Amino acid sequence: MDFIAIGDTTVDEFIKLEEAQINCDISSEKCTISMRWGDKIPYEFSQLVPAVGNAANAAVAAARLGLSSGFVSNVGKDHFGEKVLATFAQEGVDTRYITVNENIPTNHHYVLMYNAERTILIRHEAYSYAIPEGFIPPKWIYLSSAGKRSEAFHGDLAAWLNAHPETRLAFQPGTFQMEMGKEKLAPLYAVTELVACNKEEAERILGLGETGIKELLANMRSLGPKIVLITDGPNGSYVYDGKEMLKIPMYPDPTPPIDRTGAGDASTSTFVVALALGKSIREALLWGPVNSMSVVQEIGAQKGLLTRTALEGYLAAAPINYRIEPL
């Protein structure tokens, strides 16, 4: 198989708020949302989106872009678990490595939407994590968000990768993986081909305050990965392979974004898919923001994911300022 993602999956329930107050700092960052306490808050609509999550989104992105794609994860033996499995099957994602748990429910998150931004209420169920029995080494493993009981699994995966150098690892750290700290994850970073995160996450992983992109790229690569990809919202994406630091701007939005959920997953997974297809780092850097642009035009992290033909069409029609520059 070309691409196997590993991580938690969930059912996201989107709730579009009608009324809220957004408060940001002087630089329009570190925003909070507030609503009337002890009151009834109106909402426009709710929408259930199954089979999502960082790694799940990556598996679907890979399948739509033409790779043979699979997923290692957990669901409950319940209605939501059935919807998750059916969604992956419909997308052409191999589900043989998804464990169905009798007594643990499927993850269920709530996404509060207001304007184009969102806040996600998350709960990771207490699943067990292990390399599946009979696991066939793929060309790429894409590891992302997993629950608190996954700590030992990261060491097991590092050992497995050492024993299977034919498989490359792309690592997009999730919340708990960042909480584990870079020291505990040192063996995994040492066998990582690509690590990807946004600017704030890089600062958190490294234990730094506000830091420039060049320093973040260099320090993240010093953890062990061969390639570092850092996204920075409207400022674009950056990559460093030990030889050169490159920058690409956002691909322009055709219309104002509807929902930014999954934008980072789309960009990162598409970059990895491009590498898996034999593209250069420069070509991969061009691919990522295109899928990110498409995803934010829809509700949920997967509806807007592109096929390879559609993505290449956007690249062919890209404006002249959508180009790679040295950092």
Establish if 190 belongs to a structural domain: yes
* First and final C-alpha spacing in the chain: 35
Q: What pLDDT, on a 0 to 100 scale, did the predictor assign at position 223?
A: 98
Query: Does residue 47 lie within any of the structural domains?
Result: no
Are the C-beta atoms of residues 297 and 253 closer than 8 Å to each other?
A: yes
Amino acid identity for residue 236 in this structure = G
Rounded to 10°, the helix 263-276/54-64 angle is 50
The number of CA neighbours under 13 Å toward the Cβ of 196 is 30
Helix ranges restricted to H, 29-150: 54-64, 79-91
CA–CA gap between residue 162 and residue 9 (Å, rounded): 26
Domain range for residue 216?
3-9+52-106+125-326
Largest Cα separation within the chain, whole Å, is: 57
Q: What is the CA radius of gyration of the chain?
A: 19
Identify whether 94 is part of a domain. yes
Structure tokens at 233: 């919202």
Residue 323 to residue 227: CA distance in whole angstroms: 20
How far is 22 from 110, CA to CA, in rounded Å? 19
Is 114 within a domain?
no
Nearest 5 degrees, angle CA 63-CA 259-CA 322? 70
- Give the model's pLDDT for residue 101: 97
Domain-embedded: residue 27: no
pLDDT of residue 118: 82
114 to 35, 98, 201, 305: CA distances (angstroms): 11, 33, 23, 22
Locate 84 and state its tokens. Answer: 């998750």
Whole-model pTM? 0.91
The DSSP element (H or E) to which 137 belongs, if any, is none
112 inside domain: no
Question: Is 320 within a domain?
Answer: yes
Contact (Cβ atoms closer than 8 angstroms) between residue 214 and residue 327: yes
Tokens 């070509």 belong to residue: 283
> Regarding beta strands 10-17 and 108-114, do their DSSP bridges make them parallel or antiparallel, or are they unpaired?
parallel
Give a yes or no: residue 41 inside a domain.
no
pLDDT at residue 302 in the model: 86
Distance from C-alpha of 244 to C-alpha of 224, rounded to nearest angstrom? 16
Number of domains in the chain: 1
CA atoms of 187 and 190, how far apart (whole Å): 5
pLDDT at residue 19 in the model: 84
CATH of the domain at 255: 3.40.1190.20
Residue 213: Cβ within 10 Å count: 18
Could you tell me which residues come within 8 angstroms of residue 303 by beta carbon, excluding any fewer than 6 positions away? 49, 295
Q: State how far the Cα of 147 lies from the Cα of 170, in Å rounded to an integer.
A: 18
Residues 6+ apart with CB under 8 A from 314: 251, 290, 293, 294, 306
Q: Which two tokens stand for residue 285?
A: 């850097």
Pick from 263, 264, 265, 287: nearest CA to 275:
287
Q: What is the pLDDT along the chain (327 residues), one digit of tens a residue?
A: 999 999 999 999 989 998 888 888 877 778 898 888 899 989 999 999 999 999 999 999 999 999 999 999 999 999 999 999 999 999 999 999 999 999 999 999 998 988 877 888 988 899 999 999 999 999 999 999 888 889 999 999 999 999 999 999 999 999 899 999 999 999 999 999 999 999 999 999 999 999 999 999 999 999 999 999 999 988 999 999 999 999 999 999 988 888 787 788 899 999 999 999 999 999 999 999 999 999 999 987 789 999 999 999 999 999 999 999 998
